[in-house]
Chains A and B, each alone.
Chain A
Amino acid sequence: MNKNKEQLLNKRYKAEQRFRLYGQSAIFMALLFLTIFIFKIFSTGYSAFQKTWLIVPVNFDAELMMLDENPTKQDIEDADYYEIALQSMWNLDPNANEDQQNQLKRMVSYFFEREIKQELLKDPNLLGKTKEVYLTASDDLDQVFKGNYPRDLPEDQRRVSDYQLKIFDQLVANGNVESKFNISFFTNADSREAELAGIASSFMGSIFSILVCLMIAFPVAVLAAIYLEEFAPKNRFTDFIEVNINNLAAVPSIVFGLLGLGVLLAIFQLPRSTPLVGGITLSLMTLPTIIIAARASLKAVPPSIREAALAMGASRMQTTMHHTVPLSMPGTLSGTIIGLAQALGETAPLILIGMVAFVNTIPGSPMDPAASLPVQIYIWAESAERGFVEKVSACIMVLLSFLIIMNLFAQIIRHKFEKKWS
């Protein structure tokens, strides 16, 4: 009898131990996946924050630029830089034939002409002199320098020729290749050339979309939640509304995209591909999330507080505005931020309303065409060039850091300001 009891007890302890083990391994698995994911993103993405420059001597030959003596600022602005730009690349190998000269030109970005022009605009005294100028390397050479390019492939399968590699290696040996922090990744809009492509357009697009989304969704959702929770009679009709708000939260986001397409673009003729339309579409999606969060936090305010205020002779509106709503705000706000974070990561509805278009300008207002960060990831991930691979990961890193910051903020609000009810 006693032995039986002992066995039973042992069995119970063993069962608990096993259960703990299952739980620990589940957490281990989750952490493992997360680590692999983050490591993968980081290891492919971090190199995008560096950019490779070729340092090339440029002779600012006034004659080639068709400039007279003592040119005005405007003259310098209007001068022809193509010839001197071309010449300086060709000078890297004075014996190059025509085909090789073409290859030399393709070692830098098509932007090289403008980079040379900038240099002269900065210092007009350079006219007639020679100066070493930093030129953005082509995306393929950029990848070669970062060690991401398989140099040992047969030449006809590579986008970089043996000749280009030879010249490039010479430049490296002479210390004329430099890697610097990639500012243009943050300041440039999207580009077909990987070495020039940046996230400024999609970043601003995301910010504008989120702001529009916030300005529409937050007041509507909070008012709806307050009315439903504090004022509306509880009957079949309000039950029906509640069920449907919950349904709305479960609607796949692409459906909201179709709605945006069908209503905002087709009927209201709002400008296509703009953060305005994107924001409105996202706000439809965020609305139920915020309503649910706001109602939950209104519900969490104990009825005794409402009774206290009502018994003091406060009207229902005063009770709500003076006590219930302020007390529910931390929960509502953190729900809102989480809703916005969801919206920030949303891709499908934006693709449908045309925010997937190639936008190479930085939007100045919600009415300008723009992409958004997740859509930018999608666009770049579709591109064939090797240079975009690291950009995709870098863009994911930017997006993730934003999501993490937002969620952290939501947590802080919740912990710091939410009242604990005994």
Chain B
Amino acid sequence: MIKIKAKDVDVFYGKKQALFNISLDIEENQVTALIGPSGCGKSTFLRCLNRMNDVIDICSVKGEILINDFNINDKGCDVVRLREKIGMVFQKPNPFPKTLYENVSYGPTIHGIAQSKQEMDEIVETSLKKAALWEEVKDRLHEPGTGLSGGQQQRLCIARAISVRPEVILMDEPCSALDPIATAQIEELIDELKKEHTIIIVTHSMAQAARVSQNTGFFHLGQLIEHGSTDKIFKNPDNKKTQDYITGRFG
């Protein structure tokens, strides 16, 4: 099942073109990794999917991005509804400087998902459990989220993202600020989450892409050089550039 279908996406920062003609299909309930050297446009593409590029004044996006056959670049698309369906986890853990509970309950609160305090408590608990954080923090839900360790903070951000039950989760190098143990925990978590969510992850680590993803797209200089199943990309890429990048000859 195709969840997201990007067709001829061009992105401009002012006059400078950052993405050229990207067409990419994302499979439902699978992990898609976007790899490539720094500045190749993979994060930019990721941010197209929940229209986070809107925040940047000079950024303009052209082309079609269909999610459930609905073009999110249409004038009629409501970004608030879109971002409810498409969660995002950022490179640097960015919990709100509020309590753990408030962090996780923020999404359900603004979208009016929970009807009662009880229901909210449940949502917070399930989200934290799914993010494999519950056991560590269940006794201090009302302490500030910024007091956690880096890895815990990132899992808190994941819990926050899944609290509104998004269909898609975008992850922008979620492990780049974490140590190997925390990274392993997050990777395990990603594997678990893909049962219910479609996941797109931008990563610098090729090993990570190979470990967690089923599909991989390789970006270079704003172009999608090659995409396909992770197995194929890593073992038998069609393109020479992909081959060079994967074997560590550049990037």
Contact = CB atoms under 8 A, between A and B. Distances in A.
A326 to B, nearest CB: 9
A312 B97 CA distance: 15
Given A313-B107, A314-B110, A308 B90 contact: yes
B62 interface: no
Given A305-B94, A419-B97, A311 B52 contact: yes
Interface in A107-122: none
Contact of A313 (B81, B96, B157): B81
Interface string A196-223: 0000000000000000000000000000
Interface string B146-188: 1000000000010011001000000000000000000000000
A302 B91 CA distance: 14
B92 interface: yes
Contact of B87 (A307, A311, A315, A419): A311
A304 to B, nearest CB: 4
B78 to A, nearest CB: 10
A312 B110 contact: yes
A297 B63 CA distance: 38
B123 interface: no
B52 A307 contact: yes
Contacts of B125: none
B55 A307 contact: yes
Nearest to A421: B97
B234 interface: no
A309 interface: yes
Contacts of B146: 419
Given A313-B110, A313-B111, A305 B90 contact: no
A323 interface: yes
Contacts of A313: 79-84, 107, 110-111, 164
A367 interface: no
B170 to A, nearest CB: 8
Interface string B82-110: 11100110101011110000000011001
A359 interface: no
B57 A312 contact: no
A145 to B, nearest CB: 61
Contact of A307 (B80, B90, B97): B90
A313 B162 CA distance: 12
Contacts of B30: none
Contacts of A309: 96, 106
Interface string A290-330: 00000000000010111111111111001000110001000
A306 B88 CA distance: 13
Interface residues of A, number: 20
Nearest to B84: A313
B96 A323 contact: yes
B11 to A, nearest CB: 17
Nearest to A314: B110
B96 A310 contact: no
B58 to A, nearest CB: 9
A304 B172 CA distance: 13
A252 interface: no
A310 B55 contact: yes
A128 interface: no
Contacts of A302: 94
Interface in A71-91: none
Contact of A312 (B55, B92, B160): B160
B80 A304 contact: no
Nearest to B91: A304
Contacts of A322: 106, 110
B50 interface: yes
Nearest to A312: B107
Contacts of B157: 308
Contacts of B92: 304
B151 to A, nearest CB: 15
Contacts of A364: none
B96 A305 contact: yes
A315 B79 CA distance: 8
Contacts of B55: 306-307, 310
B164 A312 contact: yes
Given A327-B97, A419-B97, A310 B110 contact: no
Contacts of B97: 305, 327, 419
B250 to A, nearest CB: 30
Most chain A CB within 10 A, of B50, B97, B160, is at B97
B52 A310 contact: yes
A318 B157 CA distance: 19
Contacts of B161: 311-312
15 contacts: A234-B57, A307-B52, A307-B88, A308-B90, A310-B83, A311-B161, A312-B87, A313-B83, A313-B107, A313-B111, A314-B106, A315-B80, A318-B110, A323-B96, A419-B146
Given A304-B90, A311-B161, A313-B110, 19 more contacts: A234-B57, A304-B92, A307-B94, A308-B90, A308-B96, A308-B157, A309-B106, A310-B52, A311-B83, A311-B88, A312-B106, A312-B164, A313-B80, A313-B83, A313-B84, A313-B111, A314-B110, A315-B80, A322-B110
